[in-house]
């Protein structure tokens, strides 16, 4: 199925099961920078382990994309670009990398869910994949976003 058709079909499904959704589909995106990473993080989210994510504020500034806001809807794609879940942003906070909380690291659901693991993985990620030429700094601003799954596609 063509990607646009799959998104349209998924959005129709969402609108049928979640009352009050708008007619226009929200932005669709995948976690991570690779298909494998996207699938791994998606699996954590679908299992209920991952209820938060983090992004570089510098990346948002560099690309011109708007920051997420509470109440925003997003369609999360798998590594192959298929729509797999509808999420709603429930909280957004911008904090320096070295001030991200252990609670946020735990909510991201990765590895052993410790702040130490979170810092190691995210520093490596932003050093390698950042859109911004500023890359990584220990006090860089991080967009900490919490979300909830409103609907997941049946596999």
Beta-bridge partners for 89: 147
pLDDT of residue 154: 81
In whole angstroms, what is the distance from residue 55 CA to residue 70 CA?
15
In whole angstroms, what is the distance from residue 16 CA to residue 38 CA?
26
pLDDT of residue 142: 98
Class of domain 3-152: alpha beta
Residues in the chain predicted with pLDDT less than 50, given as ranges, are: none
Q: Taking a C-beta distance cutoff of 8 angstroms, is the pair 68, 142 a contact?
A: no
Model's pTM, two decimal places?
0.94
Helix, strand or coil for residue 19?
coil
pLDDT of residue 1: 59
Q: Taking a C-beta distance cutoff of 8 angstroms, is the pair 149, 141 a contact?
A: no
């Amino acid at each position: 199925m063509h990607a646009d058709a799959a998104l349209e079909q998924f959005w129709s499904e969402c609108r049928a099961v979640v009352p009050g959704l708008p007619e226009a589909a929200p932005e669709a995106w995948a976690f991570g920078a690779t298909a494998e990473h996207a699938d791994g993080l998606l699996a954590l989210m679908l299992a209920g382990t991952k209820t938060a994510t983090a992004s570089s504020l510098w990346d948002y500034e560099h690309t011109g994309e708007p920051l997420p806001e509470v109440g925003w809807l997003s369609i999360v794609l798998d590594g192959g670009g298929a729509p797999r879940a509808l999420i709603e942003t429930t909280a957004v906070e911008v904090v320096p990398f070295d001030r991200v909380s252990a609670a946020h690291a735990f909510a991201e659901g990765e590895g052993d869910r410790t702040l130490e693991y979170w810092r190691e993985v995210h520093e490596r990620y932003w050093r390698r994949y950042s859109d911004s030429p500023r890359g990584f700094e220990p006090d860089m601003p991080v967009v900490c976003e919490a979300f909830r799954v409103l609907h997941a596609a049946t596999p």
